[in-house]
Amino acid sequence: MFCVHVEPVRRAGPVRVDEVFVRVPGERRPRPVVRWARQSAARCSPVLARGCGFPVLVGGVVVLVGATEVVVEDGDVRVLTEHQVSGLGALGGVLRPERVDRVHTVARNRRVWLRC
């Protein structure tokens, strides 16, 4: 399960990503997008687990739209360009089909997210 955060990048040059920040060339301040993705995934996991009745592991993903080159330090959040998103499907399924249906049903329920 992934919690995806999409971030547009409008400047040319290599985008540098570390444990917390996305640094775009030509911008004065780095963006804490990696931290936001990690926090969102950490919030989603217990909410889904409580609603489903079984543990649901959620990983953070940052998608940089418009980035031509990305330099990534190792970390727990995956950083991709818009052309690499289709590769997430190749990671394979972890949940059985009936559990996937349960997670989908819980995730679509708006009331579940009110306590988040």
Where are the domains positioned within the chain? 2-115
Please count the other Cβ atoms lying within 10 Å of the Cβ belonging to residue 44: 20
pTM score, whole prediction: 0.87
| Residue 45, pLDDT score | 93
For residues 80 and 61, the answer to whether their CB atoms sit within 8 Å is yes
| Residue 89, pLDDT score | 81
The series of mean pLDDT values per 10 residues for the chain, 116 residues long, is: 91 87 90 94 93 92 91 90 87 84 93 83
| Residue 34, pLDDT score | 94
Give the C-alpha separation, 54 to 103, whole Å.
10
